[in-house]
Every structure is written in C-alpha cells, then in structure tokens.
C-alpha cells in the first residue's frame, strides 16, 4: 500500500480554500501512485479554539473528503472539528475510494497546555481500519505523548497515523516520540504535520514515516511538491510504500511485543492506585 502524507499550510477557518488544496494534493498523490492520502489535524480550519463556530462545518468537511476520495479513487484520512454529545470533538475520518466513511476517531487527549480541553471533549475509543490489507489506526497530535493507546492497539495495527498541528518550537519532541512509538510497538508510524502559521503559532512540518525498526522510511526532506488549484506550491507530499508483511517479519524476528507481561503491569497499576 502506498501512503502519501500531505504537509500543507492551512488557510485559517476557511474550509473551501483548504478543501481545494486537499483536492490538488490528492491529485498529485494519485499521480505518484498513492493509495491512502493523509491530511493534517483540522486540515480544513486550522487548530482553532473557536469550537462552537467551526464544529458545525464538520459534516461539510467530511462530504468534501468523500468527494475527493471518489474523484481520485483514493483512500482519504483527514482531521476536523465536529459537534459532540456534549462539547465539540476533534475528529478524524478514514474514507474509502467510494466515498464511504469506514472509521471515525475522536482525539482521546485534548491539549490542556493549549486550552483545547476547555473547548473540546476527549474521545474514548481507538478504532482501526483495513486499508488494502494494511491495518491503520489514527491518532491526533497530543495523543503522541501517551504510549498507552499505541500499546493498546499494537496487536491489531500495522500503521499508526498521527495527524497533527504540532508547533515548530517543540519539533524535537515530535521527531523523538514518533520514532519511539515505532520502535516500542514494532509498527510503521506516519506523522503528518502542518506547516505555516495559524492562531499565532508557527508550524514546522517534520512529517516522517518510520518503519517497524524505527528507521526513517521517508521524511519531509524527501517530499515532492504539490500544487493548489491556482498552481501555487502549497503542499509537500511524502510518498512511500507500507507493507504489513514487514511488520509481521519484524515482530517474528524480535519478540519484544510477545514478551509483554500484561498481568504484572495490571498488578503494578492496581497497587499504585491503592497506594500500596
């Protein structure tokens, strides 16, 4: 399966412009042979805390993703805000080439340091989708700092995809944590981050694909340029192959996951919680 990570600038709270950019990126990714096209966190609006204003656009953005998927006959994965049962939620969808949504994920960990927890509710589930034989589990930005959900989904995941609006000031953390999640879970990890400026923050990209050994399979420096609807270069595409057999081989050759001691960990957590 060929995956394309779209490292793009985002027009602030402007879904129409950003969907046009995503469409052009998908066209370029398709031309490069991509099967799955991945867009950053809240790709259509930027990481806005105006949750009540932008969340109602969630349905429109999903429809836009579905149209792009059908037009270019590709799988799409992109993030957006949407209304929730309480407050809005930071979401991501996986859309198949027919335009059908096969997975919707809600960011488990709102970013309290940036005030996200004051505007968005966290999710409580971690779904996985089969994309042409590769088991794909999406997470969103701040989730990367928490190894627990990755570990919980490791046995059913070949490729973790982390979509993000990760500020340039903490890019070293981004790079280190992506590599760590690949090594400790013996899985591919694709991090797709935005570039440009939005909401008073600068975003430095650093999109990368790590293989199950932690090696860099592809990085933004290897990317090819894409173009927006008017012909201007506004995105870079990271395009590489992902193979479930490589994950299975890594886990068979080096049995770290098989050596986990879940019962011991549960006991340790229980004693910590009880103060013993």
180-184 LR contacts (CB < 8 Å, sep 24+): 180/147, 180/214, 181/144, 181/147, 181/150, 181/210, 182/210, 182/211, 182/212, 182/213, 182/214, 183/210, 183/213, 183/214, 184/147, 184/150, 184/151, 184/256
Q: pLDDT tens for residues 78-137?
A: 999 999 999 999 999 999 999 999 999 999 999 999 999 999 999 999 999 999 999 999
Q: What is the pLDDT of residue 234?
A: 56
Q: Which of 7, 41, 82, 116 is catalytic?
A: 41
With 50 as the cut, is the pLDDT of residue 230 above it?
no
Of the candidates 108, 136, 154, which has an alpha carbon nearest to the alpha carbon of residue 256? 154
* Residue with more model confidence, 241 or 276: 241
In angstroms, rounded to a whole number, what is the distance separating the alpha carbons of residues 62 and 42? 11
Buried b (16+ CB within 10 A) or exposed e, 103-124: bbbbbbbbbeebebeebbbbbe
Q: Residue 255 has which token pair?
A: 């049995």
* Residue with more model confidence, 228 or 110: 110
With 60 as the cut, is the pLDDT of residue 226 above it?
no
Q: What number is the average pLDDT over the span 23-38? A: 97
The CATH number of residue 39's host domain is 3.60.110.10
Q: How many domains does the chain have?
A: 1
Confidence grade of residue 235 (pLDDT, cut at 50, 70, 90)? confident
Instruction: Report the chain's mean pLDDT, rounded to a whole number.
Output: 94
Q: Which of 7, 30, 82, 141 is catalytic?
A: 141
Do residues 43 and 22 lie in contact, with contact meaning Cβ atoms separated by under 8 Å? Answer: yes
Q: Which of 7, 30, 107, 116 is catalytic?
A: 107
Do residues 192 and 161 lie in contact, with contact meaning Cβ atoms separated by under 8 Å? Answer: yes
Q: Which residue has the tokens 């129409």?
A: 16
Q: pLDDT tens for residues 185-194?
A: 999 999 999 9
Of the candidates 165, 181, 126, which has an alpha carbon nearest to the alpha carbon of residue 48? 165
With 50 as the cut, is the pLDDT of residue 227 above it?
no
Q: Tell me which residue range forms the domain holding 104.
A: 2-274
Q: CB under 8 Å to 51, separation ≥6 — which residues?
A: 81, 87, 88, 119, 120
The phi and psi torsions of 155 (rounded to 5 degrees) equal -65, -20
Q: State yes or no: is 141 an active-site residue.
A: yes
Q: Which residue has the tokens 């809240």?
A: 42
Q: Residue 165 has which token pair?
A: 């609006």
């Amino acid at each position: 399966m060929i995956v394309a990570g779209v490292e793009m600038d985002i027009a602030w709270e402007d879904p129409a412009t950003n969907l046009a950019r995503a469409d052009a990126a998908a066209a370029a990714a398709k031309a490069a042979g991509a099967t799955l096209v991945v867009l950053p966190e809240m790709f259509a609006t930027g990481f806005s805390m105006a949750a009540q204003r932008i969340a109602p656009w969630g349905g429109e953005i999903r429809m836009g993703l579905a149209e792009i998927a059908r037009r270019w006959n590709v799988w799409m994965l992109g993030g957006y805000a949407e209304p929730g049962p309480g407050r809005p939620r930071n979401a991501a969808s996986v859309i198949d080439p027919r335009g059908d949504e096969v997975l919707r994920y809600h960011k488990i960990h709102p970013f309290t340091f940036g005030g996200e927890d004051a505007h968005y509710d966290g999710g409580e589930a971690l779904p996985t989708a089969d994309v042409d034989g590769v088991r794909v589990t999406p997470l969103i930005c701040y989730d990367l700092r928490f190894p627990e959900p990755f570990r919980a989904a490791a046995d059913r995941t070949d490729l973790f995809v982390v979509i993000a609006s990760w500020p340039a000031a903490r890019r070293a953390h981004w790079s280190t944590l992506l590599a760590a999640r690949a090594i400790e879970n013996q899985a591919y990890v694709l991090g797709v981050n935005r570039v440009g400026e939005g909401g008073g923050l600068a975003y430095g990209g650093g999109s990368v694909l790590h293989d199950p050994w932690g090696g860099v399979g592809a990085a933004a420096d290897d990317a090819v340029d894409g173009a927006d609807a008017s012909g201007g270069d506004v995105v870079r595409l990271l395009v590489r192959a992902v193979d479930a057999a490589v994950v299975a081989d890594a886990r068979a050759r080096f049995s770290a996951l098989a050596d986990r001691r879940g019962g011991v960990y549960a006991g340790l957590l229980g004693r910590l919680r009880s103060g013993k």
